[in-house]
Chains A and B, each alone.
Chain A
Amino acid sequence: EVQLLESGGGLVQPGGSLRLSCAASGFVFSNYAMSWVRQAPGKGLEWLSLISGGGDQSYYAESVKGRFIISRDNSKNTLSLEMTSLRAEDTALYYCAKRSRPAGAYAVDYWGQGALVTVSS
């Protein structure tokens, strides 16, 4: 059974940093691209970033480029999102998402339950 378990969410002050992690199990982690997608309270889905199965290709939404870094450790089946210079508008539920292919924006076939990040003073 595929499981994606996010951790690391919490309350952070504007300008602060936070690192989200996603522990993956139930599939060969290195064989699939992964993404982070967020959802602000009462709002729609916003794609943030994608990383290929091998970790050699990554892409970012304009809204987080230069502030967020996606990475993966295939030896530990873990996906991460390093977030810096956080703003109030980054407040959202952050989902870890498994793509259905090794690379490219193929469909997300599994989603985690999300990690809540609140940016507030």
Chain B
Amino acid sequence: DAGVTQSPTHLIKTRGQHVTLRCSPISGHKSVSWYQQVLGQGPQFIFQYYEKEERGRGNFPDRFSARQFPNYSSELNVNALLLGDSALYLCASSPPGGRVADTQYFGPGTRLTVL
């Protein structure tokens, strides 16, 4: 079975621009989460979506937004990019139901560089 997929793999933008990152979850998974990982740190939680509804939001500014589509794929949007937004952006999906819903499986990430 295919794992979580993300596109693009790499992206270079300049300050002030906007970026859209895309994610497709594992087949059958309805929950998608987004994380930001800067060099030398663990991933930081940005958003979680389940059945197209936002279930949770981390401590990120309003420049960050996301949505989930009827096929459970998701987009992360970041406006007015800052140098500090340079990071690996990870998408994770979770299986439905019960304890296993806590377990998240990560895609390969999108490496964003802001110049």
Q: Do A and B originate from a single complex?
A: no
